[in-house]
Structure 1
């Protein structure tokens, strides 16, 4: 095995024979526990040194670092639109290739599954399932605008008494929730074939229609997709121990260490008054801080137009205090929807440290679906197809139902469970999972 060396020591010279590496060597370059903090990864058998580059990675340092020491071929294919352009920038990071006797991916035990998934990926591209319908997304945007207009119209036409106010709040909450799903599409580059257009419209929808930072969301959410339900790599999981303990591993660990940030054995009960009520209001405040800290002046301008537009339309009807109260109410209401919809696909699933599994297995063990129906598709922004979304994050949502049978077939071939459940069962499973984790923590806390 070659000794650890500085980031520049292994660079390939033009015209020279490529250096050869083993998975054992690559697995040591994770950026952790090393003097030089080297980070290497593999894409299509080529070895890249990202030790100096990872902090400049456009998708975020933590996203690319989560695959340091591992094969990143499938996430590379999943996240990037113009791969040839990206490869030009990658050429300066190339330091060699895998030894000829080394398998193309590690661990090699899933060789057939990985090969089958990559064949499925080719089939998906050949079928045009990564191509979006601009009419579909235009109609989505139109219905979002109409829902908001209807919310204003109800107050303007029928006054601000409790009934019309409640109807208006429901319409406005639906508008905000649906805008959240549309920005999610744009953030995943699944609306336009041009990355720049996705980013520009993402800013418009996220910042102007919702008052949040598109850049912050992209950096945060990409980490989740890279390693879902993996401690220290998925931010959706890593921040939970202060309020919740999730999964068997963390629950037992916290119990054995006598950690008690919260009475976790009651977390399935206090869940109702924590995350669902706090997520979006906290996001709103932190998002503004993030925009100012990063000096994202264009996003700041879009975000200001969100609040200006809201006050312009609703202040004459509700007054300043009424508008502030409505904003808070909408944030809390959307927070409830967002939390239940987003967590039903992940909290009940396997949660653990990263075990360097292949892309297909990583996504299937961390995600589940909710049964398809017209209402479920609309209400969840097609995130009832969470499995398909995680396997193909750039796929436009209107094509999930087309690829689902192919994914089910691949799961059946390799004996992998493909979970799909009713919507209410998905909600109930959040509480069941929290209860089970809380009991594991309590048992380890008291008897460990």
Structure 2
């Protein structure tokens, strides 16, 4: 007996899909012309509800390709969500997007994979982990051998702050699945590095960071902008908007001055230090909490043999202050000076170039920033191992030149200064709009 023919696929237009953007219970998105209903699934999405919901009503082909290692496996889990496909007369992505640019970037992605640039060098990451562990041991041995006077005390604080910064870059690699070929290995080692070496939860990092990559510098979608407008007026358009609406939570025209207090000085020791515990308890992430406890247990037990309780807490505060400055300046130098706006749903290539810039390559810059001086390449190819960023740079620059898209790269100190200058400029825009509207 012949099998019954499969029912014809439902066909949709982009106008229908755009209506399911999450403003009502229905949320649809498109991947490779297939239409998926994520209305219920988004809450169970392993990468978090928000990151997939940010593409509701849009084409999600490029972020889907960018974020997943085993796409064949993921597509199997997507089958129950499939409700149809684009009608034949519909383009593969929204009509407003540049077809040639989208096609060229997708071809670039194929070229990069054929060149082997998505394959990690495990020795690189192993040696990187070893250098972190050696610095950690050196900090303890320094106090053990030289005593706890001010000079060895501060030197150990510097070493421990360096450990925290460098472990932060390594956990970033693992979180992006760029160290091992299998997702599960990246996830397991990620919990060790961020949990045991840094005392932070992997689930918290995943929840926030993938949203940032999905929609960088997009107000209301990029969580890195969540403190706007409570503390800072960011971006030209949004600063003017705040001024017109007479919003004055802070004296934004002075934000380039108080940034040094509320930014690098306070973020980690005064905000994230307690918030990460609130996060894991609220979301019942008990495995992450257990890993975090091992960090604090190890730190306070090992250093209690060398320091009095007051000095022990002082050392912990010093390393968090160093880590906080390091983290804030490096992570913000590539984004705050760039375009900040609402989501315009532009091409993946354009979106990343508008929101990111690079810092010139050097051995020190690569090490100091964990290769985040190649922020453009990292945002275009989030799972690419960092040691290959420089190899894809010429191809990215060539594409930028072809389409007249600016590729920004600058010296490290210039990048730091541009954070302050951009805050000053946007603060002045806010003040002018506030006073004259």
**TM-score, normalised via structure 1 length:** 0.95
Aligned partner of 1:423 among 406, 412, 417? 412
Offset from partner CA, 1:99-133 (integer Å, 9 cap, x none): 11111111444110100000000011111111101
Q: Residues 186-205 of structure 1: matches in 2 within 5 Å?
A: 186-205=174-193
Q: Does 1:153 align with 2:141?
A: yes
- Counterpart contact for 1:50–1:93, Cα < 8 Å: yes
Q: Does 1:124 align with 2:112?
A: yes
Q: Residues 222-233 of structure 1: matches in 2 within 5 Å?
A: 222-233=210-221
Offset at residue 14 of structure 1 (A):
7.7
- Counterpart contact for 2:201–2:276, Cα < 8 Å: yes
Aligned partner of 2:225 among 237, 241, 264? 237
Q: Does 1:17 align with 2:1?
A: no
Aligned partner of 1:30 among 1, 17, 21? 21
Q: Give distance in 2, aligned partners of 1:125 and 1:394.
A: 11
Q: Give distance in 2, aligned partners of 1:295 and 1:353.
A: 32
RMSD of aligned residue pairs (Cα, Å): 1.1
**Residue 60 of structure 2: aligned partner:** 72
- Counterpart contact for 1:151–1:172, Cα < 8 Å: yes
- Counterpart contact for 2:97–2:347, Cα < 8 Å: no
Secondary structure class of the residue paired with 2:339:
coil
Secondary structure class of the residue paired with 1:41:
strand
- Counterpart contact for 1:54–1:64, Cα < 8 Å: yes
* Residues 112/264 of structure 1: CA separation in 2 closer, same or farther (3 Å cut): same
Offset at residue 284 of structure 1 (A):
2.3
Aligned partner of 1:331 among 300, 303, 320? 320
Aligned partner of 1:408 among 382, 390, 397? 397
Q: Give distance in 2, aligned partners of 1:241 and 1:376.
A: 31
Q: Residues 353-392 of structure 1: matches in 2 within 5 Å?
A: 353-392=342-381
Offset from partner CA, 1:226-257 (integer Å, 9 cap, x none): 00000110000132211101001210111111
- Counterpart contact for 2:264–2:329, Cα < 8 Å: yes
Offset at residue 155 of structure 1 (A):
0.9
Q: Give distance in 1, aligned partners of 2:156 and 2:129.
A: 19
**Residue 433 of structure 1: aligned partner:** 422
Offset from partner CA, 1:323-364 (integer Å, 9 cap, x none): 111111111111011000000000000000001101000100
- Counterpart contact for 2:118–2:384, Cα < 8 Å: yes
Aligned partner of 2:291 among 294, 302, 307? 302
- Counterpart contact for 1:107–1:358, Cα < 8 Å: no
Q: Residues 135-284 of structure 1: matches in 2 within 5 Å?
A: 135-281=123-269, 282-284=271-273
Q: Give distance in 1, aligned partners of 2:27 and 2:280.
A: 29
Q: Give distance in 2, aligned partners of 1:55 and 1:275.
A: 32
**Residue 431 of structure 2: aligned partner:** 442
**Residue 8 of structure 1: aligned partner:** none
Q: Give distance in 1, aligned partners of 2:327 and 2:401.
A: 31
Aligned partner of 1:316 among 305, 316, 321? 305
Secondary structure class of the residue paired with 2:307:
helix
Offset at residue 292 of structure 1 (A):
1.9
Secondary structure class of the residue paired with 1:200:
helix
Offset from partner CA, 1:342-389 (integer Å, 9 cap, x none): 000000000000011010001000000000000000000000000000
Q: Give distance in 2, aligned partners of 1:17 and 1:265.
A: 60
Secondary structure class of the residue paired with 2:392:
helix
Q: Give distance in 2, aligned partners of 1:392 and 1:136.
A: 19
- Provide structure 1 residue ranges, at least 5 long, that are not aligned to the other structure: 1-12
Q: Does 1:292 align with 2:287?
A: no
- Counterpart contact for 1:107–1:357, Cα < 8 Å: no
- Counterpart contact for 2:234–2:340, Cα < 8 Å: yes
Offset from partner CA, 1:195-243 (integer Å, 9 cap, x none): 1111110100001000001111111100000000001100001322111
Q: Give distance in 1, aligned partners of 2:221 and 2:432.
A: 27
Q: Give distance in 2, aligned partners of 1:241 and 1:386.
A: 25
Aligned partner of 2:386 among 397, 401, 404? 397
Q: Give distance in 2, aligned partners of 1:238 and 1:440.
A: 20
Offset at residue 186 of structure 1 (A):
0.4
Bigger drift between 168-177 and 275-284 goes to 275-284
Secondary structure class of the residue paired with 2:247:
coil
Q: Give distance in 2, aligned partners of 1:27 and 1:238.
A: 25
**Residue 330 of structure 2: aligned partner:** 341
